[in-house]
Amino acid sequence: MLLNTLRVVGVSALLSYSSLVIGQTSEDISPSEANPKAVALVTQAIQLEEAGKFEEAIAKFKEVLKIEPKDFAAMNSIAGLYGVLKQPEQQVLWAQRSFDANKMYWKALINLGNGQAVQGKLELASASFEKARSIAPKEPLPVYSLGVIAENRDQIDVALKHYLRSIEVDPKFLNGLFSAAAMHANLRQFAEAKKLLIRLLEIQPGDQDARQMLAAIERDMAKP
């Protein structure tokens, strides 16, 4: 069994505008959040993203930047959306702009690294993720992203180490649980993999990928 998980996690509007979605820290507060017109545009852009209208969402975020030219969260949302559209050059460009506008905004480094990785620039991507981890050591996403790079390189032991670290930081980080389980399975550590998948399904029972992997592992465990 060789499981290639590669659940790459990008950062677009749903994570960039943390005050609207998941709570915020001081370095996350974008200039738009004090401007009602900009907030209305951001809300519209998020709705477009959720509807899968990514190019329209990008256009709406660019309207935000006409009002608030230094809105690093809008720049990073644009970067993440270009990543979804498989345009890594634009993803890197906008992520770098976002980070240049706020050197503590680690989420921009995630999009930067993802774009670099898609371009095959794995060393640069690793450096971006390491920088993100240094800024936000209590966030699971930077160390998880390092695991994705290691998995791309077929460094299963290294990838597992990073994925396990991500769920130490956040025990409910679903992508970390899934990817750590896959690496355990690749190493034929089926009992450990099964435990992680059960944990994941307790949090999110509808995760079909996890259910399929668990079924495959149980079949392997039942073989003589």
Domain encompassing residue 101: 1-132
- In tens, the pLDDT along 146-200 reads 999 999 898 999 999 999 999 999 999 999 999 999 999 999 999 999 999 999 9
Q: Clarify whether residues 15 and 71 are in a common domain.
A: yes
Ramachandran angles phi, psi of 102, nearest 5°: -155, 100
Assign residue 207 the CATH number of its domain.
1.25.40.10
Which of 132, 157, 186 is at the close of a domain?
Answer: 132
pLDDT at residue 121, rounded to an integer: 95
Residue 120 above 50 pLDDT? yes
Q: Residue 38 in contact with residue 71, Cβ under 8 Å?
A: yes
Alpha-carbon distances, residue 157 vs 127, 153, 183, 212 (angstroms): 20, 11, 8, 23
Q: Residue 30 in contact with residue 72, Cβ under 8 Å?
A: yes
- In tens, the pLDDT along 27-41 reads 456 777 778 999 899
Q: Which pTM does this prediction carry?
A: 0.86
Q: Residue 216 in contact with residue 190, Cβ under 8 Å?
A: no
